[in-house]
Every structure is written in structure tokens, then in C-alpha cells.
Amino acid sequence: MSDLVLRRATPSDARLILDLIQAAFAEYRGRLVPDSGAYGETPERIAAQLVGHQGAVIAEREGVAVGCVLYRDKGEDLYFGRLSVLPDHRRSGLAEALVAAVEDEARVRGAEGVLLGVRIALPGNHRLFARLGYVEISREAHPGFTEPTSINMRKALR
């Protein structure tokens, strides 16, 4: 992973981030009920998420963007979502590096912990986050559903 560069995104990266998210989430289309909100993202919405206390990290290998993650304050914690790794770059430690970058940002901000939400239908993702020290704190249902569809997880930093 020595060729990996992580950098903070700027609003001018919004289209790049959207492309990464859509490519990484493409395999979930029709597999998740309801569909991921990632499919409804726009460059404008992403650009708006890259200012103030929100942000994103982009991962590049040999100058090519291969992953990203968005984050924002949520109470005394930092929340991350849209963790995206291009399929050809999975299982290389990239997701772990992006999560570690979010955790570093949380520490710099003095956050108590880091939060995330993961779909119940993606057990491989649950295992990844559990391996990284995240624990389930609750489950919730998307609007219009009576049974939980996602798991909220948290890692305490202090």
C-alpha cells in the first residue's frame, strides 16, 4: 500500500466522488431494498457536503482515484458514509485506510467516537467494521419499512 495517497476532497472533486460512489455501489443495485441513496446523489449535493464541518477523503493509487469516504459531525461523534472502493481495488486494505483516515479526522476534532450505518443485507460489511472495532448500537428501518434494514455501529475513541 506504499503507493496509496489519501487526500482531503475539495468541492471541485464532487464529480469524481460521485463517479467513485456510483461505480462502487453499482453491484448493489437491485440487491438492496430499498435501493441505496447513493444512486440519487448529484455533484451539487456532494459539493455541498465538502464544506464546513463535513468532508471527504479520496484514495489514489498511481495518481488514479480508487476510493473515497464522506464524513460529517453527528453530535459528539463523526459519522461516515458512502465508503466506496472500486471493485478492482478491494481486499487490498483500502477500505481500512479510508476508515482510519476518518478516525484520524475524528481525533483531530476531539470527537468522542465514529459512527456508521450499514445495511443488514451486507454481512461482509458488518464483519469488516466489527474487525475494525465497531460495535452495533442500534437497528433502524428505512421509511416505509416495518422491519430493520440497517445497523448503526460505533467505535469509541476515548
pLDDT in tens, 63-113: 999 999 999 999 999 999 999 999 999 999 999 999 999 999 999 999 999
Mean pLDDT of 15-35: 92
Q: Does some domain include residue 122? A: no
Number of domains in the chain: 1
The verdict on residue 25 lying in a domain is yes
Q: Establish if 119 belongs to a structural domain.
A: no
Question: Which grid coordinates are listed for 93?
Answer: 486494505
Q: Is 101 exposed, middle or buried (0-12, 13-18, 19+ CB in 10 A)?
A: buried
Residue 116 lies in a domain: no
Q: Residue 17 is part of which domain span?
A: 4-111
Contact 55, 9 (CB under 8 A): yes
Instruction: Judge if pTM exceeds 0.85.
Output: yes
- For residue 27, tell me if it sits in a domain: yes
Residue 81 lies in a domain: yes
Asked whether residue 150 is domain-assigned, the answer is no
Could you give the CA distance from residue 58 to residue 64 in angstroms, rounded to a whole number? 10
User: Which residue, 54, 71, 52, 56, is CA-closest to 17?
Assistant: 56
Q: How far apart are CA 20 and CA 90, in angstroms?
A: 13
Q: What percent of the chain has pLDDT over 70?
A: 99
Residue 9's CATH number = 3.40.630.30
